[in-house]
Structure 1
Amino acid sequence: MNGLPRTKVELLKPEQATALERDGYLLLRGAVPAAWRDALRAAFDAGVGTGDQWAAPRGPGWRHALVDLDPLVQQTCRLPPLLAAAAQMLGEPFFLSQVEGREPLKDGGHQRLHRDGAGMKSVSALVFLDAYGPDNGATRVVPRHLDPGYLNQEHPDQTEPDETLSLITAGEAGDILVFDADLPHGATCNRSGARRRSLLLSFMLPGNRATMEASRAIRNVRMDTSEVFVP
């Protein structure tokens, strides 16, 4: 990390830190300034293109947006409460590895409960740009204390936890859901067709930097990822 730009991260509020440690996720209500939200939605819509703009095919049932060079998107990824939550979970220096826009289309978006980045110790976050809930594809999570601990190679006969363990998030534009990437989670179906734009971003430890750099092109990462955030 020598020579890389370093940014000191502030501490999470004690009550938020306690909830995050208990549940493995935290909803930061209204974290995105209201004055930013229209511009972020515009950045999302401007970043939506055709399928050939992506180096790797994107899944059906979703609208995807290239947003990682937008200055306001970059500011949003650096909101102090968001960085504080990531620092609380990671406990050591980390970097922003990716950000892109995602939106479930009508009757699309449903995902099986899954874990991301197995063994990579990473943090994911969803910045909601529209109101979200069970009717328009909101994300569901299994709280840490209910996590059965499979979805991994140790239990090949148990492929996913009981859906009844999951909680569907709901809230307003400007909320941020930040969570341990290995916590079981998944989007729900957008039954109503109402817009549910979001920014999906990932924070990782520097030990993963070489792997992430090697896959920049296929992940369509164009931004500078050299900044290191220090708890």
Structure 2
Amino acid sequence: MTDCEQLHRDGYALLRQAIPTEWLNELRSVFDANVMPSDQWPTPRGAQWRHSLLDLDATIQAVCRLPPLLAVAGELIAERFFLAQVEGREPLGGSGYQPLHRDLSAQRPGDMVNALAFFDDYGPENGATRIVPGSHRPESGPSPFDFNDESRSVQLSGYAGDILVFDADLVHAGSLNLSGARRRSVLISFRSESLYASHLQTLSLRAVRMDTRERFKPCGLYSSSAGA
């Protein structure tokens, strides 16, 4: 099976050590310097998480444009796309649990792709993400996905610098941060160009300050994506 086939079958790719190691200390500092209390966001964020407003930082923007990340996002979206949002998130100790859910595509399956770029090591002890491989497309038959059934979920683990890229319809969830250890990450959203008009209507609600006019195009898995 090729990388492309596996990506479309599973609905995600875990890019190991995709962020240059020498960037990590700066990325952690940027995250911490821009943490904003949940009630100060235009739309309040969950109080059991740290949320960081960092989308204007140059190094954060460089992470969002790493060639392997753009290549996987482009392969999944399969048409011209744009960077819609990037926001820092970290579960506090004793919190972070989420039930399994989908973020949901907007107009067609595959038109939105998310990525989690990890600035700290992650695993079961500090609330790593759970995913259900292959759950991004409805299975044949009348039965909907049972979000209470954890039997197919896989809890990820890895190191600072990894990036998880996944179809917005992939079933996933955060887990409980049992140890209280830091687990800083940024949640990145890529969207099909066809969603740009609706994206502009909600910029202020989502606290998006960055310029989102740049366009990327799919050009082959794990090869460079270029703005156009």
> Residue 143 of structure 1 aligns with which residue?
133
1:215 alignment partner, one of 202, 205, 213: 202
Kindly provide the CA deviation profile for residues 171-201 of structure 1, in whole angstroms up to 9, marking residues without a partner as x.
0000000000101001001011000000001
Kindly provide the CA deviation profile for residues 39-62 of structure 1, in whole angstroms up to 9, marking residues without a partner as x.
111110011023343101101211
> Residue 49 of structure 2 aligns with which residue?
62
Instruction: Tell me the SS of whatever aligns to 1:135.
Output: helix
CA distance in 2, matches of 1:32, 1:172: 11
The alignment's TM-score, normalised by the length of structure 2, stands at: 0.88
Structure 2 runs not aligned, ≥5 long: 219-228
1:130 matched to 2:120? The reply is yes
Q: How many residues align?
A: 213
CA distance in 1, matches of 2:179, 2:210: 34
CA RMSD of aligned residues (A): 1.9
- C-alpha contact (below 8 Å) 1:148/1:161 kept by paired residues: no
How far does residue 160 in structure 1 lie from its aligned partner after superposition? Answer: 1.6
Instruction: Tell me the SS of whatever aligns to 1:164.
Output: coil
1:225–1:125 CA distance, 2 compared to 1 (3 A): same
CA distance in 1, matches of 2:185, 2:38: 18
CA distance in 1, matches of 2:179, 2:137: 31
1:93 matched to 2:86? The reply is no
Instruction: Tell me the SS of whatever aligns to 2:123.
Output: coil
1:66–1:147 CA distance, 2 compared to 1 (3 A): closer
> Residue 176 of structure 2 aligns with which residue?
189
Q: Which amino acid aligns with 2:115?
A: A
- C-alpha contact (below 8 Å) 2:38/2:50 kept by paired residues: no
Instruction: Tell me the SS of whatever aligns to 1:110.
Output: coil
The alignment's TM-score, normalised by the length of structure 1, stands at: 0.87
Q: How does 1:1-231 map to 2 (within 5 A)?
A: 15-120=2-107, 121-144=111-134, 149=138, 160=147, 162-231=149-218
Q: Which amino acid aligns with 1:129?
A: F
Kindly provide the CA deviation profile for residues 3-44 of structure 1, in whole angstroms up to 9, marking residues without a partner as x.
xxxxxxxxxxx9432321221111000000001011111110
How far does residue 69 in structure 1 lie from its aligned partner after superposition? Answer: 0.2
Q: Which amino acid aligns with 1:22?
A: R
Instruction: Tell me the SS of whatever aligns to 1:63.
Output: strand
1:148–1:161 CA distance, 2 compared to 1 (3 A): farther
- C-alpha contact (below 8 Å) 1:104/1:137 kept by paired residues: yes
Alignment identity in percent? 52
Instruction: Tell me the SS of whatever aligns to 2:157.
Output: coil
Q: Which amino acid aligns with 1:138?
A: A
Instruction: Tell me the SS of whatever aligns to 1:39.
Output: helix
How far does residue 147 in structure 1 lie from its aligned partner after superposition? Answer: 6.1
